[in-house]
Amino acid sequence: MTHDKKKVLMIGLDPKVVDYSHLPVKLDEATLRAGLAADEKRLRDLGYDAGWLLIDRGETAEAVVSAALEEEKAFDCVLIGAGIRTVPPMFLLFEKLVNLVHEKAPHAKICFNTVPEDTAVSVQRWV
């Protein structure tokens, strides 16, 4: 039955490269790692084939995302996390990633979470 699972790629900043001083909420690396793991588990428990792709702040991010999208052609949904989307210094990376997903996975739905706790809801809006 694994072939029936919707495949979800979640793209987020690796917690070790996050600048926690720019975040609107109090967060640290351990808490963020736990939140990411909980998000992935929640989606898997709901029946999705979901996994995080954790990237750097732009040094290799585009190449890493491009390779992941080329390796697996069948993503049903790609989520780009709030740490990339809502932190002003990450805006240009966010823009590049949206265009990369659009180019490499044109049939995938694109969604965005607002906090780690609503990742599953964000994916469920589309797949």
**Sequence spans of domains, the chain:** 2-124
Task: Return the C-alpha torsion angle 36, 42, 44, 46, nearest 10.
Answer: -150
d(C-alpha 119, C-alpha 39), whole Å = 6
pLDDT computed for residue 2 by the predictor:
45
Q: What value does the mean pLDDT of the chain take?
A: 92
CATH superfamily of the 2-124 domain: SGNH hydrolase (3.40.50.1110)
Amino acid at 52: W
pLDDT computed for residue 1 by the predictor:
38
- Say whether pLDDT at 42 is over 50: yes
Reported as a single tens digit per residue, the pLDDT across 60-110 is: 999 999 999 999 878 999 999 988 998 889 999 999 999 999 999 999 999
pLDDT computed for residue 26 by the predictor:
84
CA angle 23-29-93, nearest 5°? 55
d(C-alpha 79, C-alpha 108), whole Å = 10
pTM: 0.93
Instruction: Please report where in the chains the tokens 């990376």 appear, as a residue.
Output: 93
pLDDT computed for residue 117 by the predictor:
82
